[in-house]
Amino acid sequence: MTFETAFPVWNKLNSSQKNRLLDTLITRKVEKGTIIHSGAINCTGLLLIKSGQLRAYMISQEGREITLYRLFDYDMCLFSAYCIMRSIEFEIIVEAEKDTEVWVIPAEVYKNIMDESAAVANFTNEVMGTRFTDVMWLVEQILWKSLDKRLAKFLYEETLIEESNSLKITHERIANHIGSHREVITRMLHHFQNEDIVKLSRGLIEIIDEEKLISLLED
CB 56 within 8 A of CB 79: yes
**Binding range to its own copies, per CB under 8 A, among 27-35, 59-67, 166-174, 195-203:** 59-67
String of contacts with its own copies for each residue 102-131, x by CB under 8 A = ------------xxxxx-xxx-xxxxxxxx
String of contacts with its own copies for each residue 172-191, x by CB under 8 A = -------x------------
Instruction: Indicate which single residue of 32, 132, 172, 187 sits in contact with its own copies (rule: CB under 8 A).
Output: 132
H-helix or E-strand spanning residue 47: strand 46-51
Nearest to 131 by CA among 56, 66, 60, 73: 56
- In the complex with its own copies, the residue whose CB is nearer, 126 or 206, is 126
Residues touching its own copies, count (CB under 8 A): 41
Nearest to 205 by CA among 171, 178, 160: 171
H-helix or E-strand spanning residue 5: helix 3-6
Please give the single-letter amino acid code of residue 51.
Answer: S
Contacts (CB under 8 A) with its own copies, residues 136-165: 136-140, 142-144
Q: Please state the closest distance from residue 94 (CB atom) to its own copies, in A.
A: 15
What sections of 37-181 are H helices per DSSP? 107-116, 118-144, 147-162, 171-178
38 binds its own copies (CB under 8 A): no
Encode burial over 147-171: b for 16+ CB neighbours within 10 A, e otherwise: eeebbbbbbbebbeeeeebebeeeb
216 binds its own copies (CB under 8 A): no
Q: Please state the closest distance from residue 141 (CB atom) to its own copies, in A.
A: 10
Q: Please state the closest distance from residue 132 (CB atom) to its own copies, in A.
A: 5
- In the complex with its own copies, the residue whose CB is nearer, 31 or 90, is 90
Name the CA radius of gyration of the chain, rounded: 19
Give dist(CA 71, CA 78) in Å, integer: 11
9 binds its own copies (CB under 8 A): no
Positions in the binding site for its own copies (CB under 8 A):
58, 60-62, 64, 66, 85-90, 114-118, 120-122, 124-133, 135-140, 142-144, 179, 219
